[in-house]
């Protein structure tokens, strides 16, 4: 009999950023949270306050670290940052508007977001396959760390990173869009993963 206990991972996308409002491609590049983004982070933290968490993991990007800090608040939880939780590296497309990308690189965005080829990568960037590989390596490490004690884990990351992981895990044909501070829940038990919640804004919008 396995002594492993159930682990639930709560994935939270970061709050709204300046580049989000300007509709710029934002992967490895960064921009600060807006006032609305800070409010979203605080609100999702309040929506999750009745759940007992044992640890927090975040991307190395400052927008995600800030989101986690606002959401976690005064909870005394062990927190670890890891580069494998970062957003997809969009390479030469970083910080550009869609119109600028179209002028310089043609229909690369349309081909990327069609999701017909998981090995397709933006110029100087990484592919969905590479993104999924690094994300899963981190999730496996989290499970290995916590499966003996079990419990709920908070993971703060990015829209495409979380979306591609869930898409592959649940074998979905479409990419699940995560609104800022949307929450997805994955349950690990008996050596199996189950997607329980996808991109819910209920935790963030609990008071509305």
Q: Tens digit of pLDDT for each residue in 131-164? A: 999 999 999 999 999 999 999 999 999 999 999 9
Q: In the chain, what percentage of residues exceed pLDDT 90?
A: 93
Q: Is 54 annotated as a binding residue?
A: no
User: Rounded to whole angstroms, how far apart are CA atoms 57 and 53?
Assistant: 11
Q: Is the dihedral of CA 54, 26, 165, 172 positive or negative?
A: positive
* Class of CATH domain 7-200: alpha beta
Q: Which two tokens stand for residue 48?
A: 């999750």
206 catalytic? Reply is: no
Is position 15 annotated in a ligand binding site? yes
Catalytic residue among 4, 6, 14, 110: 14
Q: How far is CA 3 from CA 52, 63, 140, 151, 192, in A?
A: 21, 37, 17, 14, 14
Residue 169's alpha-carbon distances to 57, 144, 154, 172, 185, in angstroms, are 19, 18, 18, 8, 12
Q: Is 204 annotated as a binding residue?
A: no
Residue 65 buriedness (CB in 10 A; 0-12 / 13-18 / 19+)? middle
- Confidence label for 7 from pLDDT (cuts 50, 70 and 90): very high
Give the pLDDT score at 2.
57
Question: Is residue 14 annotated as a catalytic residue, yes or no?
Answer: yes
Is 84 annotated in a binding site? The answer is: no
Per-residue pLDDT band for 1 (boundaries 50, 70, 90) equals very low
pTM here?
Answer: 0.96
* Catalytic annotation, pick one of 22, 49, 52, 87: 87
- Tell me: is residue 63 an annotated ligand-binding position: yes
pLDDT of residue 173: 84
**Averaged pLDDT for residues 96-118:** 95
If pLDDT is split at 50, 70 and 90, which confidence band does 174 have?
Answer: confident
The contacts of residue 25 (CB under 8 Å, 6+ apart) are: 19, 90, 93, 94, 95, 96, 97, 98, 101, 109
d(CA 45, CA 68): 8
Q: Is 62 flagged in the annotation as binding?
A: no
Q: 36-80, pLDDT tens digit by residue?
A: 999 999 999 999 999 999 999 999 999 999 999 999 999 999 999
- 202, 47 contact by CB (below 8 A): yes
The verdict on whether residue 20 carries a ligand-binding annotation is yes
| Residue bearing tokens 């008071």 | 207
Q: How confident is the model at residue 3 (pLDDT cuts 50, 70, 90)?
A: confident
């Amino acid at each position: 009999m396995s002594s492993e206990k159930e682990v639930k991972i709560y994935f939270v996308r970061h709050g709204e950023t300046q580049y989000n409002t300007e509709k710029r491609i934002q992967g490895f590049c960064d921009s600060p949270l807006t006032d609305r983004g800070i409010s979203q982070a605080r609100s999702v933290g309040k929506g999750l306050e009745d759940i007992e968490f044992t640890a927090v993991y975040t991307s190395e990007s400052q927008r995600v670290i800030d989101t986690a800090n606002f959401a976690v608040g005064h909870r005394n939880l062990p927190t670890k940052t890891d580069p494998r939780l970062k957003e997809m590296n969009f390479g030469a497309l970083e910080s550009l508007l869609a119109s600028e990308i179209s002028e310089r690189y043609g229909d690369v965005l349309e081909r990327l977001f069609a999701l017909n080829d998981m090995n397709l990568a933006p110029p100087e960037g990484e592919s969905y396959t590479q993104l999924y590989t690094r994300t899963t390596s981190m999730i496996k490490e989290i499970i290995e760390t916590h499966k003996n004690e079990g419990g709920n884990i908070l993971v703060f990351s990015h829209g495409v990173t979380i979306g591609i992981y869930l898409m592959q895990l649940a074998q979905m044909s479409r990419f699940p869009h995560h609104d800022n501070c949307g929450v997805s829940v994955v349950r690990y038990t008996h050596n199996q993963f189950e997607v329980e919640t996808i991109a819910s804004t209920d935790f963030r919008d609990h008071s509305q």
